Amino acid sequence: MDPGTAVVIAAVIAFVGAVIAAIIAAIGAIAVAYINKAEKSVNKAEKSVAKAEKSIKEVSGALPSWNLLLEHDKYGNPISGNIESLIEAVNKGYPIKIRIHQPNNSVQVMEAQWLFVENKIVYASNTDQISLMKNESGDYIYQEDSYHYYVVVGSDGHHHAMRVYVDGRKRNPSNSKRHMAWIGLVPPQSPTSQPSSR
C-alpha cells in the first residue's frame, strides 16, 4: 500500500471514530437527561403518593366509627364508659346498638329503633325480631308457631320482652336484668368517642 492510501485510510478511520464518539456522547447526554427526568418523575410520584396517603388518613380519621359508650352490669353499674357519653350520643341523634349478654352466655346485638332519656337512664326499643329456635342440628330456624319479639331495654339493666304471635295471640311477657353494652356510631374528636371509665 502506498503512503497516500494509508493516510487516507487513517483519516477515514479517525473520522469514523470521531463520529462514533460523538454519537456515543450524544446518546450518553440524552440518556443522562432522560434518567434525570425519570428520577424527577419518580420523586414527584412518590410525593403524590405520600400526599394521597396523608389525605386518606385524614379523611379516614374524620369518619364516624362504632365506639363503646357505656357498658354496665345487670344492675346498671358502669363497667366501662359513662352514661353522659351515651346520653350525649342519643341527644345528637347518633345510631346506637346494644350488646345484650344473655343468661345462657350468648350475646345478642340489638339495633335501637327508638331511644329516649329519662332521669339519666337511656331506654331503647326494637320490634324487628321474629322468634327463633334451634333444630336437631343446632342451627337456628324460625318456629312454626312464630311470634313477634318486642324488646325494651334500659341503661339501668332493665330488659323487658313482649311476645305476640303472628296471628295476634299474646304470649308471656318477661322482665329481667341484663349486662349490656351501648355502642354508638359517633364522629372522632367527640367526647362521646372516648368514654372514660368510672
Structural domain includes residue 198: no
Dist. CA 191–CA 195, nearest whole Å:
7
Residues 85 and 169 in one domain: yes
Position 198 scores a pLDDT of: 46
- Mean pLDDT split into 10-residue runs, the chain, 198 residues: 70 76 81 80 81 76 90 97 97 97 91 97 96 92 92 98 92 95 87 48
Query: How many structural domains is the chain composed of?
Result: 2
CA distances from 86 to 65, 177, 192 (A): 15, 19, 7
- Any residues with CB less than 8 A from the CB of 38 and at least 6 apart, and which? none
| C-alpha count within 13 angstroms, C-beta hemisphere, residue 29 | 5
Taking residue 139's Cβ as centre, other Cβ atoms within 10 Å add up to 9
Q: pLDDT at position 173, please? A: 93
* C-alpha cell belonging to residue 7: 493516510
Residues 169 and 72 in one domain: yes
**Residue 49 has what pLDDT?**
77
- What is the pLDDT at residue 97? 98
- Say if residue 34 is in the same domain as residue 99: no
Same domain, 70 and 116: yes
Strands (E), 73-193: 78-81, 96-101, 107-111, 114-118, 121-130, 132-134, 140-142, 147-154, 158-165, 174-177, 179-186
d(CA 172, CA 155): 23
Answer with the one of 63, 96, 115 that is the final residue of a domain.
Answer: 63
Q: Is the pTM of this model over 0.85?
A: no
Cα separation, 113 vs 97, in Å, equals 9
pLDDT at 8: 67
| 159, β-bridge pairs | 153, 176
Q: Is 28 domain-assigned?
A: yes
Range of the domain at 171: 65-193
Does 80 share its domain with 49?
A: no
Alpha-carbon gap, residue 76 to 172, rounded angstroms? 25
CA distance readout (Å), 49 to 45, 55, 61, 165? 6, 10, 18, 59
140 lies in the same domain as 87:
yes
Same-domain pairing of 54 and 79: no
